[in-house]
A and B are shown apart, each in its own frame.
Chain A
Amino acid sequence: MMRGHETKPASSGTGEEAPGGMAECPLVPAYPTGRLGRLQRHLLSGEFDQLRDFPIFESNFVQVTRLGEVANKVTMGVAASSPALELPDLLLLAGPAKDNGCLQLFGLFPLQFVQLFVHDESRWQLKVKFRTGRAFYLQLRAPAETRDREFGRWVRLLYRLRFHSAGGAVPFTQEYSTVEDGEDDQDDDTIEREEQDLKAGSLQAMEARLDPQTSELWGL
């Protein structure tokens, strides 16, 4: 991910903002913001022409260590670079800027080079792993009433991406042979466990528990 934003404790730079939210950028224009997330609003603010019209599914997270200690705030979204796509093809990561706490886009990553895992369902944690071996953990930040439902959408998304890619040109199963920098050591056991969970058929159970209607984006 973006170095320098990665394992920083939340105290660095985000100190003054109100609990629970990033400072709203003064530059965000008065769009009808009804259901739009802050990442989408940020992209609509006019500085990112090319990304402006992407449909986005996004949530707010905190980055946590593998053991669950809280680090910095992250907004993660998936987007489709074309409205015709059946599934999103890009992962977007954003977080508070160091100087003013406004949301800032950190990176845009083709989903074919990223894997999403459920890290700890009971704590609404996902694991995001890049093909290069870099990985990090995100815990969903959402009101208690909607948290399970929102997490469920991410879970649904990650299975759909997985099924989709299994039939496509870049199956995730290639991953371990194409890790580029071999620095993946300490993460392997976690992944293996997650992979096994997945293969053990927990996924039907998971799918069954998800609320099928809710979001209009990619049927999440």
Chain B
Amino acid sequence: MTYAYLFKYIIIGDTGVGKSCLLLQFTDKRFQPVHDLTIGVEFGARMVNIDGKQIKLQIWDTAGQESFRSITRSYYRGAAGALLVYDITRRETFNHLTSWLEDARQHSSSNMVIMLIGNKSDLESRRDVKREEGEAFAREHGLIFMETSAKTACNVEEAFINTAKEIYRKIQQGLFDVHNEANGIKIGPQQCISTSVGPSASQRNSSEIGSNSGCC
């Protein structure tokens, strides 16, 4: 299957907030009621279409439990997008966001697009964190924000896709160097690099473009 770009995503946040469920809902359109604690990293992939371009999302669903954290952290590197997830029914998962964010900023590229997700929006009656608090946190830290439900699928597509749109926008604005692997973006195997990168391509060192491309 061909694609114009591949974006690496990571999903991070406390254990039990629904990271694996969000991924499963996005890739398989299913909900898993039982909590299967993730150990290490589980992978998912899906094609999305942004602006007429096929984009492959390669998603790294990481373990939230404290004991796995030092290991999973090392896999943040090279992510173009991150979904930072908390559970709207458990305030402590919201309180831990700062520490997750610090981790993410420290171990990945500064360009990484971060989507803050307040998950389990279907459990309105048990809500412990107001939507406005999520919005405020996101504003303060320059994140995109959405509330989702991995159970009802509400906003799940949007969360993954809006993150991709934002990454794509940054590519087009030349904010992302698509040739730098550390940015978590890869150009698809069939792509002609010089025609697809957007406005910044012309500014890029031409020897780099030449050496990188097998076609054209």
A residues touching B (Cβ–Cβ < 8 Å)? Answer: 2-4, 27, 46-47, 49-50, 81, 90, 97, 99-100, 104-110, 113-114, 130-132, 134, 180-181
Determine the chain A residues whose CB is within 8 A of the CB of B37 once the complex forms.
132, 180-181
The one of A99, A104, A108 in contact with B40, judged by C-beta atoms closer than 8 angstroms, is A108
Known: A47-B58, A50-B78, A132-B36. 18 other contacts (CB 8 A): A3-B24, A100-B1, A104-B45, A106-B43, A107-B40, A107-B43, A108-B40, A108-B41, A108-B43, A109-B39, A110-B68, A113-B39, A113-B68, A114-B39, A130-B39, A134-B36, A180-B37, A181-B35
Residues facing A in B16-38 (CB within 8 A) are 20, 24, 28, 30, 32, 35-37
Q: How many angstroms between the C-alpha atoms of A49 and B78 in the bound complex?
A: 8
The answer on a CB contact under 8 Å between B43 and A46 is no
In whole Å, how far is B25's beta carbon from the nearest beta carbon of chain A?
Answer: 11
Q: How many angstroms between the C-alpha atoms of A181 and B36 in the bound complex?
A: 9
The answer on a CB contact under 8 Å between B24 and A50 is no
Instruction: Considering the complex, give the chain B residue whose CB is closest to the CB of A111.
Output: B40
Instruction: Considering the complex, give the chain B residue whose CB is closest to the CB of A109.
Output: B40
Q: How many angstroms between the C-alpha atoms of A36 and B9 in the bound complex?
A: 28
Q: List 19 A-B contacts (CB under 8 A).
A: A4-B28, A27-B189, A46-B189, A47-B6, A47-B186, A49-B181, A50-B78, A90-B40, A104-B43, A104-B45, A108-B41, A108-B43, A108-B75, A109-B40, A110-B68, A110-B71, A113-B68, A132-B37, A181-B37
The answer on a CB contact under 8 Å between B36 and A3 is yes
Q: How many angstroms between the C-alpha atoms of A107 and B41 in the bound complex?
A: 6
Q: How many angstroms between the C-alpha atoms of A130 and B42 in the bound complex?
A: 13
Which of B35, B71, B75, B78 is packed against the most chain A CB atoms within 10 Å? B71
B residues touching A (Cβ–Cβ < 8 Å)? Answer: 1, 6, 20, 24, 28, 30, 32, 35-37, 39-43, 45, 58, 68, 71, 74-75, 77-78, 181, 186, 189
The answer on a CB contact under 8 Å between B40 and A4 is no
The answer on a CB contact under 8 Å between B40 and A113 is yes
The answer on a CB contact under 8 Å between A4 and B24 is yes
Instruction: Considering the complex, give the chain A residue whose CB is closest to the CB of B188.
Output: A27
Determine the chain A residues whose CB is within 8 A of the CB of B74 once the complex forms.
81
- A-B pairs, 3 with minimum CB distance: A109-B40, A107-B42, A108-B41
Instruction: Considering the complex, give the chain A residue whose CB is closest to the CB of B46.
Output: A99
Q: How many angstroms between the C-alpha atoms of A27 and B41 in the bound complex?
A: 23
In whole Å, how far is B109's beta carbon from the nearest beta carbon of chain A?
Answer: 13
Determine the chain B residues whose CB is within 8 A of the CB of A100 once the complex forms.
1
Determine the chain B residues whose CB is within 8 A of the CB of A2 once the complex forms.
42-43
Determine the chain A residues whose CB is within 8 A of the CB of B186 once the complex forms.
46-47
The answer on a CB contact under 8 Å between B77 and A50 is yes
Q: How many angstroms between the C-alpha atoms of A99 and B27 in the bound complex?
A: 11
The one of B32, B75, B189 in contact with A50, judged by C-beta atoms closer than 8 angstroms, is B75
The answer on a CB contact under 8 Å between B43 and A105 is yes
Determine the chain B residues whose CB is within 8 A of the CB of A104 once the complex forms.
43, 45
Q: How many angstroms between the C-alpha atoms of A109 and B35 in the bound complex?
A: 17
Instruction: Considering the complex, give the chain A residue whose CB is closest to the CB of B62.
Output: A108
Determine the chain B residues whose CB is within 8 A of the CB of A90 once the complex forms.
40
Determine the chain A residues whose CB is within 8 A of the CB of B78 once the complex forms.
49-50
Determine the chain B residues whose CB is within 8 A of the CB of A46 once the complex forms.
186, 189
Q: How many angstroms between the C-alpha atoms of A113 and B41 in the bound complex?
A: 12
